[in-house]
Amino acid sequence: MIKPKIAPSILAADFNNLEKEIRMLNESEAEFIHCDVMDGVFVPNISFGIPIVEHVKKVAEKPLDVHLMIVNPENYIEAFAEAGASWLTVHFETCPHLHRTVNHIRENGMKASVCLNPHTPVSALEDIITELDMVLLMSVNPGFGGQKFIHHTYKKVRQLKKLIQESNADCLIEVDGGVNYETGKKLVEAGANVLVAGSFVFGSENPKATIRNLRNI
C-alpha cells in the first residue's frame, strides 16, 4: 500500500509561535502545509486570510495546500496565487460556475481541488472529475477543528476512487476532519491519498513523530 501524504492543518498550530511551527513542519515528513481559510459566512467561524498565507509562505519549504471555506472564492484566486498557494481548494457548494473557477485556478499556476461537504454526494463531481488535481472530502462539518469523525466518509472515499478510475482521471483523494491513526488507516485502505490532520498533530507531544507515524499507518 502506498504511503499517504500528510497535510498538517495550521489551524491547530500555536499562532503565538507560528514561524516555529512552520519550521517544524519543514523538518517533518509532511508533504503539504494545509491552510484553512474561513470567512464566517460559508462556515460558522473566522480563521485567517491572505496576509497569514503570505507570511507562512515566507517560511514554508513545503507546498501550501489552501482550503477556501468562503463564499465567492472566484474573487480571490489571483490573490491566493500571489500569496503563494500551490494547491487551491474551493467548495462545490459555493461555486455555481465550477468549470470556470477550476480553469481560473489552473490558469493562475495552481493545482485545482474541489471540496465536498459531508452531505454532498460524490456523484456531483461526475462532469468535472477529469479536470481536477484533487478532491477534498470533509469528514466533519467544516468550521471548527477537533470534531468527531463522520464514518460515512469511508464509503464516500470508495465511491470517489471508483469514479476516478472509471473516468481515467488523475486526481488525489484528500480527507479532512477527525483524522487519527485509526481513521487514517481505514481511509487509506479505502483509497485516500492525502490526510489532513490538525489537532491530532499539533496537540501531540511530538508532532514530527506523529506525522511520521501517520505516513506509516
Active site residues: 36, 176
Residue with cell 472530502: 137
Which of 146, 170, 154, 129 lies closest to 137, judged by CA?
Answer: 154
Contact call for residues 143 and 69 (beta carbons, < 8 A): yes
d(CA 151, CA 182): 12
Phi (first) and psi of residue 112, to 5 degrees: -100, 130
d(CA 198, CA 13): 8
Would you call 28 exposed, middle or buried from its count of C-beta atoms within 10 A (0-12, 13-18, 19+)?
Answer: buried
- 18-27 and 207-215 are packed helices; what angle lies between their axes, rounded to 10 degrees? 40
Strand partners, 87: 65, 111
Helix or strand (DSSP H, E) at 98: helix 98-107
d(CA 202, CA 209): 11
Contact call for residues 142 and 160 (beta carbons, < 8 A): no
